[in-house]
Amino acid sequence: MPTSRKALVVGLGIAGLATAARLHEIGWTPVVVERTPQRRTGGYFVGLFPRGAQAAEELGVLATMHLRTPADHRTWAVDANGARVRSIGFLDQPGHPDGVLRGDIEAALWEKIEGRVEVRFGTEPVAIEQTTGTARVTLRDNASGATSEEDYDLVVGADGLRSTVRRLVFGPHERFMRSMHAIICAYSLEHQVTGYGDHEQVVIAAPRRALWIFPFRDHPPTALFTYRTREEDRQFRGDHADVLAGRFAGLDAGGIVTQALADLRRAPQALFDSVHQVRMPRWHRDRVVLIGDAAWCMTLFSGMGASSGMIGAVALGDALAGSPESIGSALDAYEQEMRPLIRKHQALAYVKAQLFVPSNRAVALLRAALLKIVSRRRLHAWIGQPS
Ligand SMILES: Cc1cc2nc3c(=O)[nH]c(=O)nc-3n(C[C@H](O)[C@H](O)[C@H](O)COP(=O)(O)OP(=O)(O)OC[C@H]3O[C@@H](n4cnc5c(N)ncnc54)[C@H](O)[C@@H]3O)c2cc1C
């Protein structure tokens, strides 16, 4: 394979970082452009499932990744009045995911490419034109407003849910983004809520609204507010904490919600967004390919977005290395490899969403009953274990 093949990777999130690392490893020359002026850090709780951990291992970053699952973690289900019962939580799912911050995965991948791959901050594509044998990209430097044209063998859109590459090459967002009619707000708490230990997960799940507090071994917990609504646009009018305070009225759970909202008012990096899946019939067109949330956003409810970004990067790298003469065949192979996994987890996300935030009272009751049975079984199995 010619060693001079150049790829433009748009976006420095998990998918973009992982893609740059893999392309560099197989002998390509990736150039990464990132819209923001600097690399982000921190973020929210992410569960890293075994398939994602395996991809991280294949990318050579698992060993350096900061895993933060608390030893002896436990979960409490808390009702509107603050009464608690033992339950099972995110980290108890089959496969026992590791708890990390999104920034932990990004930091490990960044370490892998830093100094080896060219990264340009404050830069984004404004036009992509495909001619035979090349993709011509117009890039804009956001600080100066200056634009320049550059030719690439491949353009990888790893620019997230509202991908510019997808819009420029495949069509408007509305064609591919499917609303799950839910809002999320994720951020780091200043410290654990009163009455709970650093290793304890707190879940307040009522019909159509829920608050999850995820513990870490060596970091304050992160909070995830989520609620269901069909009036997504209206949720962005006004202060996020005020909107949440209105939505969670009557569900204070013994002061936990008030405390979490007080932290939100001081949180510098809170994420407040509507929840959408991205469904596309194809992820590539000629020399432009999408990966991660840009291609298949499965939503936080799937718990597989970060993992699938890394799995996709490995698959894309393998496909390009395995088909050095034809980028088209490589991209077909990449799609074929990834489709079954994405299809499965996009479907599962709707089921798992009911565990995060039940869509009505009947589902909430069913959910609570199921969790009670499962957590009792787990407790019995644990008590019955030889010490
Ligand atoms: C609250 C929450 C909890 C989650 N929990 C889990 C979990 O438990 N397990 C899991 O696996 N996943 C989880 N996810 C999903 C996971 O975080 C995402 O799927 C993953 O981080 C997406 O990575 P990405 O690189 O595809 O996109 P992004 O993280 O969106 O990164 C895109 C990057 O592209 C940049 N960019 C955007 N537009 C442009 C442009 N025009 N030009 C240049 N750069 C641009 C952005 O600034 C950003 O740096 C969760 C998500 C949320 C919100």
Q: Which atom of ligand 1 is nearest to the CA of 304?
A: 11
CB contact at 8 A, 312 and 292 = yes
Q: How confident is the model at residue 375 (pLDDT cuts 50, 70, 90)?
A: confident
Sorted by where each starts, the structural domains of the chain and their CATH numbers stand as 6-42+102-177+278-352 (3.50.50.60), 74-101+179-275+357-384 (3.30.9)
11: CA distance to ligand 1 center in Å? 9
- Share above pLDDT 90 across residues of the chain, in percent, rounded to a whole number: 89
* Residue 270 predicted with pLDDT over 50: yes
Residues in Cβ contact with 277 at an 8 Å cutoff, skipping those fewer than 6 apart: 177, 178, 180, 296, 297, 298, 299, 346, 349
Which residues, other chains included, contact 213 with Cβ-Cβ below 8 Å and sequence gap of 6+? 189, 192, 193, 196, 201, 202, 203, 221, 222, 223, 224, 256, 260
User: Of all protein residues, whose CA lies closest to atom 1 belonging to ligand 1?
Assistant: 186
Is the Cβ–Cβ distance between 279 and 176 less than 8 Å?
A: yes
Q: Mean pLDDT lowest for which of 2-11, 16-25, 160-169?
A: 2-11
DSSP class of residue 234 equals G
Given the DSSP bridges, would you call strands 288-290 and 284-285 parallel, antiparallel or unpaired? antiparallel
224 lines ligand 1 (CB under 6 A): yes
Query: Which tens digit of pLDDT belongs to each residue from 278-329?
Result: 999 999 999 999 999 999 999 999 999 999 999 999 999 999 999 999 999 9
- How many whole angstroms separate alpha carbon 4 and alpha carbon 2? 6
> Does the C-beta of 13 come closer than 6 Å to ligand 1?
yes
For position 42, what pLDDT does the model report? Answer: 86
| Residue 43 burial (10 A CB sphere; 0-12, 13-18, 19+) | buried
Q: What confidence score (pLDDT) does residue 381 get?
A: 57
Q: Is the shortest distance between the CB of 311 and ligand 1 below 6 Å?
A: no
Distance 14 CA to ligand 1 centre (A): 7
Ligand 1 closest atom vs CA 33: 43
What is the Å distance from ligand 1's center to 157 Cα?
Answer: 12
> Which spans in 88-134 are helix H?
102-113
Q: From the CB of 103, is ligand 1 less than 6 Å away?
A: no
The CA 17 to ligand 1 mean position distance, Å, reads 11
- pLDDT of 379 > 60? The answer is no
Nearest ligand 1 atom to alpha carbon 294: 26
Q: Is the CB of 137 under 6 A from ligand 1?
A: no
Closest-lying ligand 1 atom to the alpha carbon of residue 224: 1
Residue nearest (by alpha carbon) to ligand 1 atom 29: 13
C-alpha 160 to ligand 1 mean position (Å): 5
Angle in degrees, CA 298, 176, 36, rounded to 5:
70
The pLDDT of residue 374 is 83
- Least confident residue range of 71-75, 176-180, 251-255, 381-385: 381-385
pLDDT at 72: 87
Using one digit for the tens of pLDDT, what is the confidence trace for 361-370?
Answer: 999 999 988 9
Q: What is the pLDDT of residue 94?
A: 84
Residues β-bridged to residue 84: 78
pLDDT for res 310: 98
Backbone angles phi, psi at 46, to 5 degrees: -130, 130
- What would the DSSP string read from start to end of 45-68? EEEE-HHHHHHHHHTT-TTTS---
- 384 pLDDT more than 50: no
**pLDDT confidence bin for 380, thresholds 50/70/90:** low
Cα 307 vs. chain centroid, distance in angstroms?
8
Q: Is 309 in the pocket of ligand 1 (CB under 6 A)?
A: yes
43 CB less than 6 Å from ligand 1? no
What gap in Å lies between CA 212 and CA 252, rounded to an integer?
Answer: 13
The whole-number pLDDT of residue 3 equals 53
pLDDT in tens, 223-261: 999 999 999 999 999 999 999 999 999 999 999 999 999
Mean pLDDT, rounded, of the chain: 94
Count Cα neighbours of 305 within 13 Å in the Cβ-side half-sphere: 25
C-alpha span between 369 and 351 (Å, rounded): 16
What is the predicted pLDDT for the residue at 383? Answer: 43
Average confidence (pLDDT) over 76-90: 94
Cα(100) to ligand 1 centroid in Å equals 14
Give the pLDDT of residue 131: 86
- Given a contact cutoff of 8 angstroms between Cβ atoms, the answer to whether 129 and 139 are in contact is no
Q: Is any atom of ligand 1 closer than 6 Å to the C-beta of 10?
A: yes
